């Protein structure tokens, strides 16, 4: 019995020593992410009202009831101390698949944008700042839409006179 008690005490001491000398490793997760900021000048800016708008992919939803694509809608805040603000497209916007294309129609402040400048805010509106709606519609082909995965880009250029 004495031998059993000695061994039990020895095991308990060994376990205690082990516990005090063991290093506990915590599980750690590290996240590294990029932070940027764009602070506009007070002379001119044209920025989406939703700060994340330009960083996200925008999906046109499919409306099965009308067999049509749902437009993309957003708002831009514009301001210019130098005069009216114009906007134009950098190229003809379209959605493309491997076989087919769907033209896009882009309106800013209810003005249809083309490859030439359109005034989207007159001098007085631009001076005090204005929130303007953006709407991007798919132009439905005469034969209807063909099934497939489509993607594309829209490039809008904003300009004003230098103050």
Phi, psi (deg, nearest 5) at residue 153: -135, 155
Q: Output the CA torsion sign for 77, 54, 71, 93.
A: positive
pLDDT digits (tens, 9 = 90+) for 73-107: 999 999 999 999 999 999 999 999 999 999 999 99
Q: What is the pLDDT of residue 24?
A: 62
Q: What is the pLDDT of residue 29?
A: 81
Q: What is the pLDDT of residue 20?
A: 56
More confident residue, 71 or 19: 71
Contact criterion met (CB below 8 Å) for 85 and 132: no
Q: What is the pLDDT of residue 21?
A: 54
Instruction: Please list, residue by residue across 41-79, b when 16 or more beta carbons sit within 10 angstroms of its beta carbon and e when fewer do.
Output: eeebbbbeeeeeeeeeeeebeeeeeeebbeebebebebb
Domains and CATH numbers, the chain: 44-159 (2.60.40.2040)
| pLDDT score of 123 more than 60 | yes
pLDDT digits (tens, 9 = 90+) for 10-51: 555 555 555 555 556 678 788 777 777 777 778 899 999 998
Phi, psi (deg, nearest 5) at residue 5: -65, -40
């Amino acid at each position: 019995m004495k031998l059993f008690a000695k061994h039990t005490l020895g095991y308990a001491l060994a376990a205690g020593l082990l516990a005090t000398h063991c290093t506990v490793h915590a599980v750690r997760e590290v996240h590294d992410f990029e932070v940027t900021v764009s602070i506009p000048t007070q002379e001119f800016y044209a920025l989406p009202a939703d700060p994340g708008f330009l960083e996200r992919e925008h999906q046109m939803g499919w409306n099965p009831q009308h067999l049509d694509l749902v437009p993309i809608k957003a708002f831009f805040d514009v301001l210019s101390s130098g005069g009216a603000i114009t906007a134009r497209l950098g190229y003809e916007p379209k959605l493309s698949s491997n076989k087919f294309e769907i033209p896009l129609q882009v309106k800013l402040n209810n003005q249809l944008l083309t490859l030439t400048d359109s005034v989207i805010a007159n001098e007085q509106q631009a001076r005090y700042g204005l929130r303007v709606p953006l709407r991007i519609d798919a132009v439905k082909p005469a034969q209807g839409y063909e099934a497939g995965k489509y993607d594309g880009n829209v490039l809008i250029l904003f300009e004003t006179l230098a103050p």
